[in-house]
A and B are shown apart, each in its own frame.
Chain A
Amino acid sequence: MKRGHRLAVAAATGVAAAAVAILPAIAQQMPASTPGYDLSGEWAPRFHEDQPERIPGPEIGDYLGLPINAAARLHADSWDASILTLPEHQCKPHPSDYSPRGPANLRIWKEIDTASQQLLAYHTHISWQAPERTIWMDGRPHPPEFAAHTWQGFSTGVWDGDMLTITTTHLKMGWIRRNGIPRSDRAVVTEHLVRHDNYLTWIIVIDDPVYLTEPFIRTTNFVWDPHQQIAPYPCQIVEEIDRPQGVVPHHLPGQNPFLGEFPAKFGVSPEAARGGAETTYPDYQWRAKGAPAAPARESDPPAVAASASDGDVHVLPVQGNVFMLVGTGGANITMQAGDEGVLIVDASAATLTDKVLKAIRTVSTKPIRYIVDTDADADHVGGNADIAKQGAVISGGNMGQPYSGAAIIAHEKVLARMSAPTGEPSPFPQAAWPTDTYFTKKKELFFNGEAIEILHQPSAHTDGDSLVFFRRSDVVSAGDLFLTTTYPVIDLERGGNIQGIIAGLNTLLDITIPRDKQEGGTYVVPGHGRLCDEADLLEYRDMLTIVRDRIQDLVKKGATLDQVNAARPTLDYDRRYGTTSGPWTTDKFIEAVYKSLQPATGTKPSR
């Protein structure tokens, strides 16, 4: 690949990592940042507010002063502290909107462009779990929605007088209070840092359409402490409890025995302890005396974020030889490119083929050798025929009749779904059918100097799902086993099952290894949505396991589907993954889970 192409791709996609590489160029192009009051230095936290919550930790069921909705409440009611014993949960750092509240010895320093003396960025380091954060001051844009989210998010800052105002997006799912009150990955956080004499006040405003009914504001104070020395904070995962793989500790709805302890212990009314925007206004004090309550402001459910909404196909460098291609209306494509040619996982929708080919050519001009289909859905295989026609697998020898296009690899169930018995119409033209199928647990390939594992996941989204693991690049393509846009589509008629989905996610968790503090390392390309890593995958696995357990409990009690729906077993996730319209509604998802778990058709968890 030509260097110019690489830079163009990186600049176009706005990936944070790539942006670092083009920093000097940006520094010359962007307008100079207006200088404000220097915030650099060592800052010691003061815990003169909310100390019981911030240091010992919050009580179970203490939601005081939080403008949360019913979804957040159910999420926290279900939270079991034992979840923190799971290996994948142990080293999570506080996200940037929470970390100033914890044990937060703070260092702030500036990054100055040597030539122009322009302020490029502020950096922060906080003691607990040692998260480091960059606040870009050079006017660069935020990355596209389909870029990876991180614990610290992507932050840009501007000066408003002597106040530094920061906007942060691309946060991982986090927490507002460490007792299960969640903050979603859709949140946008605005912060204001202002220094007065030797005091630093840090104002944080969280706007989360998933779990909050009003923006949530809190303020935290620090004192300048030039003698401060921050110790290192490595984190090593240990096995704390021997439990079957795939178990996610949580409380079933209505069965958390600890929720009543907090109000009783501190004389707080049980209603106030449940939180809600109205409880944060002083009017709430005399509400019990007859004054009308301020109505809670519920916002509409957020629209499901599209992978890319401009109709184009975008290229996102992931790592190693692997790229992610994202376009509206089609599944994500994972592309591996090297000296031997191009391999793509899924071909996306037929309507996007021209744009897909164009996008591929911005990265590599080598022949397309392989297409790997993760399932037989039209938004994954629709481009098979036309893209394969543009490619050329190297064949011959004992491989039978030479084939002129790119090879199409899939599990044999995919071929069965795409073709038809003789004499019957086929849902796809023969040119789109897989040319190379496998029927065992996995198929191996070595291409572009990299070992590639194609793993069959039976009875998940369908019965022919494949995961594709690029071992050297450390990227795994998940297909529709993992989506960041909706609940998983469980295609019961084509052999899908919630148990297989969860088993597949646990397999993915076995494959992924984070680089540090549950971030980076192995990246995961979902079937739809944004680039992810293990922590994102973990949230999705936990969510589905909890929902599965709730519905399974109701099924065991003999509940009908109507009764299950009435119980709202997905309430705490609906504003993130649910929808009431389109081809895959929340009701359809619940029905599919319910049917998956019926004794006659259900299967036991395999992991």
Chain B
Amino acid sequence: MRSMGRKPQSSQRSQRKTSSAFSAFSAVAFSAFSAFSAASAQPPPSARAAAPIDLTGYWVSIVTEDWRYRMMTPRKGDYASVPLNAAARKAADGWDPAKDAASGNACRSYGVGNIMRVAGRVHITWQDEDTLKVESDAGTQTRLLRFADPAPSPSGDNGWQGYSVARWQLAGPQRRGGPGRGRGATPPRGGSLKVVTTKMKAGYLRKNGVPYSEKAIVTEYFDRHTEPNGDQWFTVTTVVEDPTYLDEPFITSSHFKKEPDGAKWHPTACRAE
């Protein structure tokens, strides 16, 4: 195996070149890998830093839909639009606001299943880097939307607002299909917020006793949009699924217009009627 013991000169030069090239490549690759490893080793950005949309500020609900269910207390038994089952209708027909007030349940219509439909203002701030706080002046309620703690504690009272897990939904990057074109090409452009809430106390979908149970799951999608006149809005699409009282998911969407400050913030206590 001569050729293995002594290579021709040209081959040796070639090998040296190859070896040098490999070394150089290795160095670059190692360097890049190290940088990648270092980047990978860094903690992911906080929810606040990664936010594709800004929901913070004071917002007022503009009630152009379901006015007589939201701006006033509808009459008992008026539960049009809600896909209730028989058990829910029976419960709604038995609505007794005085009893609710007396039993400390005046906030039933201010729970997570309905709070974004309550006419009022919300103030959204970052409680910490991974928790978005949503305060409502109507009923003086506070919601915590948690990005970092994905699981609610199995025990413990999560109150009217339940336990909310939040996640940013980033707008998809532009991609082109076809041979050699399957790579993502651009960074995400905007996005929305998805929130799933469970473990809440049972409450009302409407002020007149239309019920949801503690087994309900409330899924919300928050979207930002700016109109040609400069008005800034967010719209929240709310889906309430309740095996106890609903025949199908109850879907509403509520819109809030941004206000310059909290001058019109008007906290009020829960009212049972």
Please name all residues of chain A whose beta carbon is closer than 8 Å to the beta carbon of B239 when the two chains form the complex.
199
Please name all residues of chain B whose beta carbon is closer than 8 Å to the beta carbon of A220 when the two chains form the complex.
253
Tell me if A161 and B189 are in contact (CB < 8 A). Answer: yes
Tell me if B190 and A160 are in contact (CB < 8 A). Answer: yes
Tell me if A283 and B264 are in contact (CB < 8 A). Answer: yes
Question: Is B261 in the interface zone, CB < 8 Å from A?
Answer: no
Q: Quick one: which of B13-67 are within 8 Å of A by CB?
A: 52, 60-67
B178 to chain A, nearest CB (A): 9
Instruction: Report how far A407 CA is from B264 CA in the complex, Å.
Output: 71
Instruction: Report how far A279 CA is from B225 CA in the complex, Å.
Output: 23
Question: Is B72 in the interface zone, CB < 8 Å from A?
Answer: yes
Tell me if B172 and A160 are in contact (CB < 8 A). Answer: no
Question: Is B91 in the interface zone, CB < 8 Å from A?
Answer: no
CB contact under 8 A between A218 and B65, given known A192-B225, A196-B192, A201-B235: yes
Q: Mark A406-428, 1 if CB is under 8 A from B, else 0.
A: 00000000000000000000000
Instruction: Report how far A283 CA is from B188 CA in the complex, Å.
Output: 38
Q: Mark B142-182, 1 if CB is under 8 A from A, else 0.
A: 00000000000000000000000000010110110000000
Tell me if A201 and B63 are in contact (CB < 8 A). Answer: no
CB contact under 8 A between A281 and B60, given known A219-B65, A221-B253: yes
Q: Mark A180-217, 1 if CB is under 8 A from B, else 0.
A: 00000000101010101001010101010000000111
Instruction: Report how far A323 CA is from B67 CA in the complex, Å.
Output: 48
Tell me if B228 and A282 are in contact (CB < 8 A). Answer: no
CB contact under 8 A between A48 and B82, given known A37-B171, A196-B194, A280-B63: yes
CB contact under 8 A between A201 and B237, given known A161-B189, A162-B172: yes
Instruction: Report how far A49 CA is from B206 CA in the complex, Å.
Output: 12
Tell me if B251 and A217 are in contact (CB < 8 A). Answer: no
| Residue among B66, B169, B225, B264 making CB contact with A49, cutoff 8 Å | B66
- Determine the residue in chain A with the shortest Cβ distance to B72: A268
Question: Is B262 in the interface zone, CB < 8 Å from A?
Answer: no
Instruction: Report how far A345 CA is from B70 CA in the complex, Å.
Output: 57
A57 to chain B, nearest CB (A): 13
- Determine the residue in chain B with the shortest Cβ distance to A51: B81
| Residue among B61, B221, B228 making CB contact with A201, cutoff 8 Å | B221
Interface size band for B: 35 or more
Tell me if A160 and B225 are in contact (CB < 8 A). Answer: yes
Tell me if B223 and A221 are in contact (CB < 8 A). Answer: no
Instruction: Report how far A46 CA is from B253 CA in the complex, Å.
Output: 11
Instruction: Report how far A221 CA is from B66 CA in the complex, Å.
Output: 14
Please name all residues of chain B whose beta carbon is closer than 8 Å to the beta carbon of A201 when the two chains form the complex.
221, 223, 235, 237, 253
CB contact under 8 A between A47 and B81, given known A282-B60, A284-B71: yes
B11 to chain A, nearest CB (A): 50
CB contact under 8 A between A285 and B119, given known A48-B250, A49-B66, A196-B169: yes
Instruction: Report how far A92 CA is from B194 CA in the complex, Å.
Output: 39
A300 to chain B, nearest CB (A): 14
Question: Is A64 in the interface zone, CB < 8 Å from B?
Answer: yes
Tell me if B120 and A282 are in contact (CB < 8 A). Answer: yes
- Determine the residue in chain A with the shortest Cβ distance to B253: A219
Question: Is A165 in the interface zone, CB < 8 Å from B?
Answer: yes
Instruction: Report how far A285 CA is from B139 CA in the complex, Å.
Output: 14
Instruction: Report how far A284 CA is from B221 CA in the complex, Å.
Output: 27
A346 to chain B, nearest CB (A): 37
Question: Is A402 in the interface zone, CB < 8 Å from B?
Answer: no
Please name all residues of chain A whose beta carbon is closer than 8 Å to the beta carbon of B171 when the two chains form the complex.
36-37, 161-163
Tell me if B228 and A163 are in contact (CB < 8 A). Answer: no
Please name all residues of chain B whose beta carbon is closer than 8 Å to the beta carbon of A163 when the two chains form the complex.
171, 190, 223, 225
21 CB < 8 A contacts A-B: A49-B65, A50-B65, A50-B81, A52-B81, A65-B64, A65-B71, A160-B190, A160-B225, A194-B221, A196-B169, A196-B192, A199-B237, A201-B221, A203-B235, A279-B67, A279-B71, A280-B63, A281-B60, A282-B71, A282-B120, A285-B72
Could you list which residues of chain B lie within 8 angstroms of chain A, going by C-beta atoms?
52, 60-68, 71-72, 74-75, 78, 80-83, 119-121, 138, 169, 171-172, 174-175, 188-192, 194, 221, 223, 225, 227-229, 231, 233, 235, 237, 239, 249-255, 264, 266
